[in-house]
């Protein structure tokens, strides 16, 4: 039995890893004024962050169109017995709804398709996708994998911190005065995801304290099945954090991923995130 796994680029799966595992990643769209790019395909992450920090136009993102999913589902159906399509939380993106509309359009032309709202972002979603793909490679049925994935969501735990509130203000998510105050006080807001929404999880008074919070988050989390560190512009810090965590978490390699434009537009540079998948 051949089950194909589909996700979107908000999962922040390292492109080479997704390619090696045969996971199909549908890109979200990135807009700088009148210029439109497909995430990772038409614009590199280095170029995106350079334009984000130094360009005159603040970017925005949008979900893949239903036609993007239609094309993927039709192509994969040529060699698949079923497709499991797992996507970013529907409370922050229209991607899940685009996938549902695509399935309605091709249900008589394709193999069975299951669409799942992960209620997660970045590698919170990515770890679910990787676990689902492992089950698919083991020959499990579409129904079995979909049920397992739905049970994984409560076992995903995510914690991160922002270096600046500037980009939340630019995107209209908070007021400019609040962002300015955070900058003056050197506050690094900690965030998590709860019920599909990004939620405050405290604050740190410096980058060092924020990174230490991430380390303690892992240290105090029992029964970890999989783990990822996500960075966007501070690779060396991410690698140092992985080195620290490796001393207490030895089961398997800690995955390093880079935060893409879908979340990076709002968080700005200097963000670090840890995503965990707990054991059953």
Q: What is the CATH number of the domain that holds 89?
A: 3.40.50.10170
Please write the tens of the pLDDT for every residue from 49-61. 999 999 889 898 9
* Per-residue exposure over 195-212, b if at least 16 CB sit within 10 Å of its own CB, e if not: ebebeebebbeebeebbe
**67 and 160 fall within a common domain:** no
Last residue of a domain, one of 124, 152, 180: 152
Residue with tokens 């595992």: 21
Please write the tens of the pLDDT for every residue from 79-135. 999 999 999 999 989 999 999 999 999 988 889 999 999 999 999 999 999 999 999
Neighbours of 77 (CB within 10 A): 18
**269 and 160 fall within a common domain:** yes
What pLDDT is recorded for position 252? 66
**29 and 130 fall within a common domain:** yes
Last residue of a domain, one of 152, 186, 217: 152
**136 and 167 fall within a common domain:** no
Last residue of a domain, one of 137, 152, 167: 152
**161 and 148 fall within a common domain:** no
What pLDDT is recorded for position 171? 46
**26 and 107 fall within a common domain:** yes
**197 and 121 fall within a common domain:** no
How would you classify the pairing of strands 188-194 and 156-161?
antiparallel
**182 and 269 fall within a common domain:** yes
Domain housing 204: 155-278
Distances, alpha carbon 160 to alpha carbons 67, 86, 215, 220, in Å:
33, 22, 11, 15
**75 and 184 fall within a common domain:** no
Model pTM?
A: 0.92
Q: What is the CATH number of the domain that holds 182?
A: 3.30.1180.10
Does residue 265 contact residue 59 with C-beta atoms inside 8 Å? Answer: yes
**271 and 142 fall within a common domain:** no
- The SS3 call for residue 151 is helix
The count of structural domains within the chain is 2
**125 and 168 fall within a common domain:** no
DSSP-derived secondary structure letter, 206: S
Residues of the chain with pLDDT under 70: 168-186, 251-252
What pLDDT is recorded for position 168? 65
**47 and 171 fall within a common domain:** no
C-alpha 56: how far from its chain's center? Answer: 26
């Amino acid at each position: 039995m051949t089950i194909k796994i589909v996700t979107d680029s908000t999962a922040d799966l390292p492109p080479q890893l997704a390619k090696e595992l045969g996971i199909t990643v549908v890109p979200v769209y990135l807009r700088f004024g009148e210029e439109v790019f497909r995430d990772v395909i038409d614009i590199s992450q280095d170029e995106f962050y350079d334009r984000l920090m130094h360009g005159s136009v603040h970017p925005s993102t949008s979900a893949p169109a239903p036609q993007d999913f239609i094309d993927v589902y039709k192509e994969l159906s040529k060699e698949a017995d079923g497709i499991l399509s797992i996507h970013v939380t529907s409370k922050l993106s229209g991607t899940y709804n685009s996938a549902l509309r695509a399935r309605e359009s091709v249900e008589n032309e394709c193999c069975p398709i299951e669409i799942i709202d992960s209620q997660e972002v970045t590698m919170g979603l990515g770890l679910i996708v990787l676990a689902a793909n492992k089950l698919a490679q083991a020959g499990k049925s579409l129904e079995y994998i979909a049920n397992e994935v739905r049970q994984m969501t409560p076992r995903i735990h995510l914690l991160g911190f922002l270096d600046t509130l500037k980009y939340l203000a630019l995107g209209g998510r908070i007021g400019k005065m609040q962002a300015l105050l955070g900058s003056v006080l050197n506050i690094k807001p900690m965030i998590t995801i709860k019920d599909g929404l990004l939620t405050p999880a405290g604050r740190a008074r410096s980058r060092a304290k924020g990174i230490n919070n991430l380390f303690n988050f892992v240290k105090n989390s029992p029964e970890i099945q999989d783990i990822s560190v996500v960075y966007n512009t501070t690779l060396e810090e991410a690698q140092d954090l992985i080195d620290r965590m490796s001393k207490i978490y030895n089961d398997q390699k800690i995955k390093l991923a880079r935060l893409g434009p879908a979340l990076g537009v709002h968080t700005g540079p200097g963000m670090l995130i840890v995503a965990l998948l707990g054991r059953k």
